[in-house]
């Protein structure tokens, strides 16, 4: 029985995901719940487990593709003949590690156990080694009848069924004086090579199955620069790569930057074009969706957090003795959960289709984590049930997982409210975008000394600016103001949190 594994929703409301890496290949025998791929969402890179055990028959996408939810990701044979399939996969692996023998065109394999199966171009089962052999000998696999397990084309099928194609290719190869090979490179790499005047026929590919990467092209540029030139205006093919850079001077910083991106020219001068990563594209799409779907309004207020600063300083050393980094964020998380109890509208989501407000009776607080790969939003589940120390430990653990792309789906979904704190970067105030479908998000600026009038006296106090962006479809300005005042009361007098008055 063939099981069609369709790409599941690995996040809350996900409609597509980036196929970051396959961890299996065609012919592999897998167990249930074994990781078969790594998939990137707008929040994390997660491991994708197989729902069944069996033998992989076909992979429908390649690494780097964007896979819509519900589309077939792979085919898995669930039949009980796992031992035979495993043996065949082992034999293929062993054959791939030994040099391919020179095919004898007159040799024909015995095919007593299997009936040859004709193939269409859209349904071809063959290992990468067999495909490479066919490509090198200009053999159309669609014309080959297979004798392998599950209709897979073997090396013997090619050598016995494509006599004329292989013989013609061998004869043509014997008559040429240059080595002709198939160039494996993505369109972006080919474009980069054209921009830098690099002949890909002269570039050695270091990628999978000999694919030429952008690093290979850059290495070719540097190699051509190191070679001496007899004439700067040589028109021979060998001089093409050398003419891509100056023969008299090393690469400038501008030239190096261009090699890393895609050089181009505008009316004003040279520019560098860098493609957006798939993760960046997903983030951008979600931000636009939030702005276009919700009626966002931002309310700001200044908060005197002098008492909070003093409380943190008091317990900072004690926390450090327990290997806990005590920042201001755990206090803010605790204050938000307390405020949300009093104002449940801000711990909700809107069902646009049914026009119903869904009030959440759990408090999963997300926080924006800045990583080298982009913005991730880890989620502190059931934050209302955790102590400030526990929240601090969870924040540190989740932030590290975000940097390493190891967040599980449960650690990056089902959030009810989000905090975006950029105070450590020196920002005073900003207007954060709601993490849709949540109702609101709190932006936290830097804590700094400011002059405040208290009881008619001007005193220097620790102040912070809070920015609350909320969906005006769900909450009015007065609702947001009351929520902010409740939140401010907890931050101005954090002992209320310790006494669990909330």
CATH T-level fold of 99-175: Dihydrolipoamide Transferase (4.10.320)
- Tokens found for residue 139: 């053999």
C-alpha distances (whole Å) from 167 to each of 108, 158, 160, 164 are 15, 12, 12, 5
pLDDT tens, residue by residue, 210-267:
778 888 888 887 776 555 444 333 333 333 333 333 333 343 443 343 335 666 677 7
**Has residue 430 got a pLDDT over 90?**
yes
User: What does the pLDDT read at residue 280?
Assistant: 77
User: What does the pLDDT read at residue 217?
Assistant: 83
pLDDT tens, residue by residue, 155-204:
667 766 655 555 555 445 444 433 434 577 776 677 778 777 788 888 88
User: What does the pLDDT read at residue 219?
Assistant: 83
- Spatial separation of the C-alpha atoms in residues 487 and 477, rounded to whole Å: 15
Contact in structure between 463 and 478 (CB atoms under 8 Å): no
C-alpha torsion angle, residues 168, 174, 179, 185 (rounded to 10): 10
Annotation marks residue 211 as catalytic: no
Percentage with pLDDT > 70 across the chain: 71
CATH 3.30.559.10: does it fit domain 280-498? yes
CATH T-level fold of 2-77: OB fold (Dihydrolipoamide Acetyltransferase, E2P) (2.40.50)
**Has residue 107 got a pLDDT over 70?**
no
pLDDT tens, residue by residue, 389-410:
999 999 999 999 988 878 887 8
3-state secondary structure 342-378: HCHHHCEEEECCCCEEEECCCCCEEECEEECCEEECC
Alpha helices (H) in 264-373, listed in sequence order: 278-293, 306-320, 329-342
Of 138, 169, 211, 472, the catalytic one is 472
CB atoms within 10 A of CB 266: 8
User: What does the pLDDT read at residue 287?
Assistant: 87
Task: Report which of residues 288 and 373 the model is more confident about.
Answer: 288
**Has residue 310 got a pLDDT over 70?**
yes
What residue segments make up the domains of the chain, in order of their start?
2-77, 99-175, 187-273, 280-498
User: What does the pLDDT read at residue 420?
Assistant: 96
């Amino acid at each position: 029985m063939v099981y069609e594994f369709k790409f599941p929703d690995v996040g809350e409301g996900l409609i597509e995901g980036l196929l970051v890496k396959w961890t299996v290949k065609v012919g592999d025998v897998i167990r249930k719940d074994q990781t078969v791929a790594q998939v990137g969402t707008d929040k994390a890179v997660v491991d994708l487990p197989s729902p069944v055990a069996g033998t992989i028959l076909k992979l429908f996408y390649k690494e780097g593709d964007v896979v819509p939810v519900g589309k077939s990701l792979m085919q898995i044979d669930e039949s009980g003949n796992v031992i035979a399939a495993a043996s065949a996969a082992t034999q293929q692996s062993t054959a791939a590690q030994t040099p391919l023998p020179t095919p004898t065109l007159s040799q024909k394999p015995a095919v007593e156990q299997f009936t040859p199966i004709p193939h269409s171009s859209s349904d071809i089962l063959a290992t990468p080694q067999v495909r490479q052999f066919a490509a090198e000998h200009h053999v159309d696999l669609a014309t080959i009848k297979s004798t392998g397990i599950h209709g897979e084309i073997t090396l013997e099928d090619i050598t016995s069924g494509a006599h004329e194609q292989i013989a013609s290719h061998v004869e043509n190869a014997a008559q040429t004086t240059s080595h002709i090979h198939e160039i494996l490179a993505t369109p972006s790499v080919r474009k980069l090579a054209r921009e830098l005047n690099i002949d890909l026929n002269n570039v050695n590919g270091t990628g999978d199955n000999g694919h030429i990467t952008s690093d290979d092209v850059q290495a070719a540029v540097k190699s051509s620069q190191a070679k001496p030139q007899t004439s700067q205006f040589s028109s021979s093919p060998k001089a093409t790569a050398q003419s891509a850079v100056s023969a008299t001077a090393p690469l400038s910083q501008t030239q190096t930057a261009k090699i890393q991106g895609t050089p181009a020219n505008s009316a004003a001068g040279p520019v560098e074009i860098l493609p957006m990563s798939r993760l960046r594209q997903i983030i951008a799409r979600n931000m636009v969706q939030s702005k276009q779907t919700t009626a966002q309004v931002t309310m700001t207020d200044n908060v005197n957090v002098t008492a909070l600063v003093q409380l943190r300083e008091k317990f900072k050393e004690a926390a450090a003795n327990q290997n806990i980094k005590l920042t201001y964020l755990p206090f803010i998380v605790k204050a938000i959960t307390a405020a949300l109890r009093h104002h449940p509208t801000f711990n909700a989501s809107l069902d646009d289709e049914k026009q119903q407000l869904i009030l959440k009776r759990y408090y999963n607080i997300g926080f924006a984590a800045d990583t080298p790969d982009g913005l991730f939003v880890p989620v502190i589940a059931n934050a209302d049930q955790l102590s400030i120390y526990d929240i601090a430990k969870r924040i540190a653990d989740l932030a590290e997982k975000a940097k390493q792309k190891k967040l599980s789906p449960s650690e990056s979904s089902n959030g009810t409210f989000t905090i975006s704190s950029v105070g450590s970067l020196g920002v005073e105030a900003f207007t954060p975008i709601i993490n849709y479908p949540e109702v609101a998000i709190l932006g936290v600026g830097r804590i700094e000394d400011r002059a405040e009038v208290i009881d008619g006296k001007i005193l220097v106090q620790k102040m912070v600016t809070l920015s609350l962006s909320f969906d005006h479809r769900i909450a009015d300005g007065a609702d947001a103001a009351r929520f902010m005042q409740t939140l401010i009361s907890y931050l101005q007098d954090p002992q209320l949190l310790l006494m669990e008055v909330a």
